Amino acid sequence: SHLTVAGFDIYKSYLDVPAQETMVAALREMVRQAPFVVPVTPRGKPMSVRMTAAGAFGWITDRQGYRYAPEHPQGTPWPAIPQQVLDVWDALAGVARRPECCLINYYGEGARLGMHQDKDEVSYDWPVVSISLGDAGLFRMGGPERGGKTQSIWLQSGDVVVMGGAARLAHHGVDRIRFGSSTLFPKGGRVNLTLRVVT
Ligand code: MD3
Ligand code: FE
């Protein structure tokens, strides 16, 4: 239950429970301004994950394709990335750029995210920082090629992952969540915040 991929760093329980609760309060405010949507793949298939975003750009997908967009599909600007979230980036990414996108993924019962690479950013030179909240999720990580060997690890509430270097272009996904394994969200589920430099 340990991942050995160059550039993959996991900070178990980086956020304590009070810090997670503060982040959930900020999350509720973001979602009030920018509600979760059902993303649809370019081929027209609805994804099981619900998505929204904060920052200058949000990652969206619909029949038009995958892209970073300056507005929510409802036509409003994305909310600002909360300072508490930027503080995690500053502490762990240690780079000159600030994230321009905080993608917010919600996993309800049965939701998953298929294996993919994050390749819609202009540069892959910047790390990606991921914050897990709520129910545990089984994260799977492979290498730069599709269909290679993979390793899996459970990400728990408060865990933070930093992907840089070779890990930045690794294939990865979320196979399943342990619905109801955390009490952070009264109705259950997992939220992942992913911070990225996009331009
Ligand atoms: C490894 N999210 O939003 S976060 C995504 O838990 C995404 O919601 C997953 O994959 C989630 O694109 C995984 C951890 C993560 C994020 C980005 C990565 C791992 C990564 C980029 C490169 C390599
Ligand atoms: Fe990803």
Q: Which residue ranges make up each domain of the chain?
A: 8-196
Question: What is the 17 CA–ligand 1 centroid distance (Å)?
Answer: 22
**Residue spans of beta strands (DSSP E) within 142-199:** 151-155, 160-163, 172-177, 190-196
Interacting residues of 44 by C-beta distance below 8 A, sequence separation 6+: 63
In this prediction the pTM is: 0.96
Q: What are the tens digits of pLDDT across the range 26-50?
A: 999 999 999 999 999 999 999 999 9
User: Across the chain, what does the average pLDDT equal?
Assistant: 96
| Ligand 1 and 191: CB distance under 6 A | no
Atom of ligand 1 nearest to the CA of 170: 23
DSSP run (H or E) holding 32: helix 17-33
| Domain 8-196 indexed as CATH 2.60.120.590 | yes
| Predicted ipTM of the assembly | 0.96
In this predicted structure, the answer to whether residue 2 has a pLDDT above a threshold of 80 is no
pLDDT digits 0-9 by tens, 117-170: 999 999 999 999 999 999 999 999 999 999 999 999 999 999 999 999 889 999
Q: What percentage of the chain exceeds 70 in pLDDT? A: 98
Question: For 79-121, what is each residue's pLDDT tens digit?
Answer: 999 999 999 999 999 889 999 999 999 999 999 999 999 999 9
Instruction: Map tokens 């178990």 to a residue.
Output: 12
Sign of CA dihedral 58, 44, 42, 119: positive
